[in-house]
Structure 1
Amino acid sequence: MIARLHLYLVDAAAAAVIAVLVAYAMTEHRDKPWWLVLPSAALVALPVAVRRPWPVVAFAITTAATVAVVIGQVLPVPALGAPAAAVGFTLYTLAVDRNRTWSLAGLVVAVVAVAGVGGGEPPNVLATVAALGAVWVIGHTTRLRRSFLTRESEQRAEQALAGERLRIARELHDVVAHNLSLIAVQAGNAAHVRSPEHAYEALEVISETSRAALTEMRGLLGVLRSGADLVPSPGLAGLAQLADRASPAGVRVSLDVRGDAAVPEGIGLSAYRIVQEALTNVVKHAAPASCTAVVEVTGESVRIEVTDDGPGVKELGMGHGLIGMRERVAVYGGTFSAGPGEGGGFRVVAELPVR
């Protein structure tokens, strides 16, 4: 707002200078009365002060007034420089604000008007074409540059939106995959057990897991709503609860978090999701099994290692879980590996540099 006000003040100052020069030329060479000089000078110069909000109107009035004062012999031809400057100011704004067709039409009108009232001699016409043509080129170039910057800003905004949507999709995948895996295991247990007590326990785990999943999904989808109150992203502090939820699904998790758990939010969220996805894979493919999750935090990195003693796999699949973990690590320039462990089972190792 302040910068725009400064521009208007500059335009007003330029208009005042041009008005003084035009009025001086009218009284110096033609000795015209003030009641004619003041309105004539105002019509020529004052549109410069409002050329930004009304470029077409300012250009039309200034150009018409310049032709009128010269043809009416209110302003001598040798003093045409000041009105021509006013025409140049408004032509520049027209070239910046309007498309090429409009601005080229304005350039033709300006050249014909100024060169015509200037006598039409070839040297004067060439000088007028060169001066006003240069003004038009500068204005049109400014328009192209601003258009390019606007498109670039829009593209950056679209890329940021696409990245945010991809992040939300990845988070939703991790939340849904992990919690539905636990629910599926517990539902299977409830369907096969003979004891009502065990069935009730399985149903209780399903209920708690469902509520936790819904809470996390509401928090994620909240970023799509303006003004939504967002819950903090899960981090290293939530790993203990994550391990507890895997236990009823037949995976005994031994969690060991070493070092200071205070890490940047993005690193903490990525570490949480990597452990979550690794436990989800254990629940899906290895339960019942024992699992060890070690998270070591240092000043340089966060190292995650999740191993289990399940049957392992012969071939490393290309599921979305492993791809998601690898992408999370790649965002921070870390390292990732996943495959069968040396003594059987499966092993996931990820290291996230702390920047």
Structure 2
Amino acid sequence: MRLLHVVTLVSDDGAYGGPTSVATGQLEECAARGHEVTLLSLWRGRSPAPERVGSVPLRTRPARSLLPGRFTGLMHPLLVRDLWRAMGSADVVHIHAGRDLVSLAALAVAALRRKNFLAQTHGMVEPRRRAVVRLFDRLYVPLLRRARGCLVLTERERRAVAEVIGPDGPPLLKLPNGVRPERADGATSSRRAPEVLFLARLHPRKRPDAFVEMAALVHRKMPDARFSLYGADEGALPRVRHLIAAHGLQGVVTYGGALQHSDAVRAYARAAVYVLPSTDEPFGMTLIEAMSAGTPVLCTQSCGIAEELASRGAAVVTDGSPRAMADAVCDLLADEHKRAALVKAGHRAVEEVFSIHTVADRLEGIYRNTCSPNSSPIGSSISSSIT
């Protein structure tokens, strides 16, 4: 099959986060299975856009800010022409759709082209009451309803999308994100420095400030521990630096900027614990990446996959307060056997649920149903098979 994925932004700092890495991972696995794949996106970076992301062919236009908003208003006029041409030869169009101009354009072109397309919302489509969102949704929601299916990560996201698109929308199909299972090359917990890792956008919802507050508490009990933050700054870095100075943590807590994927994998692998303090995290892709790298993980109760991970013994789940996170981190750093048990359970969770191989199996089934010439809209048979 000829598969076209559309995502809003690819950048050298990974600013768009999960949707981009998920699209790339899905396409790499589909390409390995013999499908012809293309990723179409805007590009933002200090250098020209690459021709490929990993093994995935990439077609881009430079990102331009046409409207206010971090990603909402990004666009390039010629991207519409690119979408029209690329969709013409595609068997399946897969749109990683947020509330932004690129997603709106992709949905509109797919509808005008009368293409069978899927939408995947990545937790980005939730009920909103602001007037500007309601105005945008007058165009966006009718187009989203024309998808053959809408892929959602969790039951919570399914409810949110259902509220937005109403009863006339497409089937909502649960599909987790997936990573390629990895094994650290002979790494053992005894070799690891006592490093605690934060790797996410420095956005208030990700709560890097709570990570620093947690670090201050851990440092009092375990002064040898070190704490690293990585990720593109999205407004929270000044607060992070203020807290580091206020707690006297210079040299204890460091910020290393955004990382390329290969560098991020190495950061996961050398950390003793990975902490994601986010509230209302739709999924938690970095948790899966850290587990795949063989690192114990800690998240909050409001993370979309917290219940699944906790039931498997694959993560420590707290209420997200700095004190609770600090107590959990101290417990993990002091107990090598507990860390090893988390690593083992994390690998098992990745292999059984969050492996890209498992996700691609499910996705291929949806694609076959979608691109069949006589297919009707995706129904309950596929929905029930992947929930």
TM-score normalized by the length of structure 1:
0.25
Structure having the larger proportion of residues in helix:
1
Which structure has the greater CA radius of gyration?
1
Greater length-normalized contact order (CA 8 Å, ≥ 6 residues apart): 2
